[in-house]
Amino acid sequence: MRIAVVGAGAIGAYWGAAMHRGGAEVHLIARGDHLRAMREEGVRVLSPRGDFVAHPCATDDPDEVGPVDYVFLGLKAHSYPSCESLVKPLLGESTAVIAAQNGIPWWYFHKLPGPYEGRRIEAVDPGGATSAVLPPERAIGCVVYPATVIEAPGVIRHLEGTRFSIGEPSGRISDRCRALSEAMIAGGLKSPVEANLRDDIWIKLMGNVAFNPLSALTRATMVEICQNPYTRQLVAQMMEETLDIAARVGSTPEISIEKRLRGAENVGHHKTSMLQDLEAGKQMELDAIVSAVVEMADITGADAPTLRSVHAATDLLSRTCGPGASGPANTPEQQSQKDPA
């Protein structure tokens, strides 16, 4: 099995190192000091489950790799429309693309039976730009649960979680998903193949859609948001509205709002990825995590007043304090690629 990881950052390098350890031929595509360190010393994973070092191939030139069986996207979702030069050389006739992203994926309505089948979500597929680079029929959905950080170039600190749930947009349990799952399990990861992966997407999104924008607006950690009665109620309202939208597009995730709140509170003083991006002066993942949900509210006729209000405030924040804006200076820090709750 030949695999390429495009954007071998904290999650991508961790996943690629695990896959290499399991016996797959892995090519990591990265740049800068991180790339140099991985070339010279391999990927060093520091984990409560046991440290290990893997030595997959590492390059900044996908043309050196050529077509592979699977492409794992470790990029932020807003980078997808502009990643053609990185991805195209890796695509063969049957190459699958695993989109390891937060939020709503561009393929969401692909092969989803019902009134919205084939509908495009502009927030994540503007004018079809993402689909042009990453055709939905290549997509294998992936919900990422681990939390990792780049502790130093070539060094990945694995904080928690090993589960990467995967599934076809059609809901079919395909041979390509089975093979990928077996390879992940061989590398020490959990990889259930889900017929209803969209339910997993909504379960994780319940937390992301609320905690990410609120943390950016307040600069608070997840536990601080949960322990303040006013923001806890705000999160509950946003989660309730999110579940309403999910139901309108045919998903009924089996988890209570209170359980999601308890799980988030147990994470402790974690800064969400959106807050980390804001503090580092990077573009926030607003489109996939919040804007797409509000767009789906428009599509389905959901009111979602709390989501709309928080989205409006966070959108303004991104325009005034994002890359190129004349907001206050930010101090970069190592980034957790995924939110654990």
Catalytic residues: 204
Closest CA to 294 of 314, 308, 315, 305: 308
Two tokens at 81?
């429309």
CB 292 within 8 A of CB 104: yes
Q: Is residue 90 within 8 Å of 67, Cβ to Cβ?
A: yes
Task: Give the count of alpha carbons within 13 A of 132, CB side only.
Answer: 10
What tokens were used for 102?
Answer: 């937060």
Q: Is 132 exposed, middle or buried (0-12, 13-18, 19+ CB in 10 A)?
A: exposed
Give the span between the Cα atoms of 15 and 11, in whole angstroms.
6
Cα–Cα distance, 295 to 80 (Å, whole number): 19
Query: Crossing angle of helices 229-248/292-300, nearest 10°?
Result: 50
Please give the full DSSP string across 257-286, using - where no structure is assigned: HHHHHHHHHHH-SPPPHHHHHHHTTPPP-H
DSSP 79-121: GGGG-HHHHGGGEEEEEEEEEE-SS--TTTTTT--STTTT---
Output the CA–CA distances (angstroms, integers) from residue 109 to 136, 170, 242, 249, 286, in the order listed: 9, 10, 17, 9, 20
| Ramachandran bin of 127, using left for φ above 0, alpha for ψ from -120 to 50, beta for the remaining angles | left
